[in-house]
Amino acid sequence: MIGFREAHEAVMGSVAALDTERIELSKAYGRVLAEAVVSDIDIPPFDKSAMDGYAVRTKDLIRPPVTLSVHDTLAAGSTIREEAVEGTCVRIMTGAPIPHGFNAVVMFEETEEREGKVRFDDPAAEGQNICRRGEDIERGRQVLGTGALIRGPEIAVLASVGMVRVKVFRSPRVHVLSTGSEVVEPGQPLSFGKIRNSNGPMLCSLVSNSGAEVVYLGIAPDREKELTALIKKGLSGDMLLISGGVSMGDYDLIPGILKGIGAEIILHRVKIKPGKPLLLARRERCIIIGVPGNPVSNFTTFHTFIKPALYKMMGRTDHALHFVHGIAGEDIRKKGERPQLMPSVHRVVDGAFVVEPLPLNGSADIVGCAGCTCLMFVEEGDQNIQRGEMVPIILIEL
Ligand code: AMP
Ligand code: MG
């Protein structure tokens, strides 16, 4: 059986950034830029006032106090063509172009205006309160590179350089298939021996929240014909997630079906608890991840294997599984060979993460996972962690 870290590497090694597409800027939040973008203009495009105040000539204010008459008023968006006239100033609003011949702006707060005359009590420094043309970025300079994750500031940058359509990496199309003859959709009658499908809705939500496109295939009973039909349908996307049917039971048919349709099994079974039966396969362009049916394994597997793989396919470079340190808020005992991912809650105490595992009743207990904010990683073998010791955690809600 392969170790957790090697399995993670195998998953990450089997996916790559997808092809690219050009989309509307308004749809680009959360996507990754697939081209370098240069500015088509100087930013700012002209010398402009950084303040509401008066445009002045510094040489008129050399010996304060000085009184200047107001020659004109200039709103943002308007211009005046005349040259500066000696002994005058221009009322100017933030963002308005500096009229020709003026070389400083004095804020309203530092002056006193009465009947068209303004009193200045201090000299002004050349260039004060003026944003120079091109001082943020010069025309032709790169503003964003390939691989930039597009969020608030990046949207604003792209808008500033007139990019109404941007080239981004395509978002993966992910098919989600629930399996199990005992599994019924929530909202359907629940007869004896059946359980509600909690994995399907959870996986679909987690996938779509990660920025991928999700297609739900429904529930297949543990019968070869139905399973094969739905699996084949799911192979048309970039990733197929199958929950259940990958363990060692008589009706865990997924590995055999995948082999039968010509998929390459990359790995099966990982030394981690929960999530041991994890299966990774590929058929042509489609990566297939078989997740054990127990809901807690579904959840931990999503955060440790599936989400990082989806991020990489989206072109994101921040897909590494980061372990940060938390302080154990209680004594933690763990038995058994495999390392364990414990759904946990962390809180910030005096600027540090204090973390406590949720009291779970085994890997079927998804109810006990409610409120989970991180996964605590407990190393293999028997472990006896004392309260106050440092423990590695994977944050899942940043
Ligand atoms: P399996 O991996 O198919 O052996 O399933 C392991 C356990 O998870 C069994 O108790 C299943 O009933 C349960 N299970 C499988 N699929 C789901 C699902 N979609 N929602 C909730 N529990 C499930
Ligand atoms: Mg099953």
Q: What is the pLDDT of residues 331-363, one digit of tens each?
A: 999 999 999 999 999 999 999 999 999 999 988
Ligand 1 contact via 249 beta carbon (within 6 Å): yes
83: how many CB neighbours lie within 10 A of its CB? Answer: 10
Query: Measuring CA to CA, which residue among 327, 326, 363, 320 is closest to residue 343?
Result: 363
Record the tokens describing residue 161, joined without a space.
């350089």
Q: What is the pLDDT of residues 290-337, one digit of tens each?
A: 999 999 999 999 999 999 999 999 999 999 999 999 999 999 999 999
Return the closest-CA partner of residue 288 out of 224, 250, 232, 211: 232
Element containing residue 340 per DSSP (H, E): strand 340-349
Label residue 188 exposed, middle or buried (CB < 10 Å: 0-12, 13-18, 19+).
Answer: exposed
User: Which residue positions in the chain have pLDDT lower than 50?
Assistant: none
Residue 82 to residue 100: CA distance in whole angstroms: 7
293 lines ligand 1 (CB under 6 A): yes
Degrees, nearest 5: CA angle 251-256-261: 135
pLDDT of residue 7: 98
Q: Please name every residue paired with 120 in a beta bridge, in sequence order, or none if there are none.
A: 66, 111
Q: Identify the residue whose C-alpha is closest to ligand 1 atom 6.
A: 293
Q: Show the tokens assigned to 85.
A: 């006239």
178 within ligand 1 shell (Cβ under 6 A):
yes
DSSP secondary structure letters along 20-56 = EEEEEGGG-TT-BB-S-EE-SS-BSSS-EESSSEEEE
Q: How far is the CA of 180 from the centre of ligand 2 (A)?
A: 4
Cα of 222 from ligand 2 centre, angstroms: 7
Ligand index nearest the alpha carbon of residue 185 = 1
What pLDDT score was predicted for residue 77?
95
Structure tokens at 95: 């963002």
Nearest CA to ligand 1 atom 17: 293
- Which residue's entry shows tokens 């597409």? 21
Ligand 2: centre distance to CA 110 (Å):
76
Ligand 1 within 6 A of CB of 326: no
Q: Could you tell me if 281 and 263 are in contact, meaning their C-beta atoms sit under 8 angstroms apart?
A: yes
The reported pLDDT for the residue numbered 83 is 79
Instruction: Determine the Cα–Cα distance for residues 282 and 2; give it in Å rounded to an integer.
Output: 18
CA of 294 to the centre of ligand 1 (A): 5
Mutate to test the pocket of ligand 1, among 178, 182, 195, 300 (most ligand atoms within 8 A of CB): 195
Between CA 243 and CA 231 the distance in angstroms is 12
Kindly give the distance from the C-alpha atom of residue 196 to the centroid of ligand 1, in angstroms, as a whole number: 9
Instruction: Note the pLDDT of residue 81.
Output: 75
Nearest CA to ligand 1 atom 10: 294
The residues with which 280 forms a beta bridge, in sequence order, are: 267, 289
pTM over 0.85: yes
* pLDDT for residue 236: 98
Ligand 2 centroid – CA 200 distance (Å)? 13
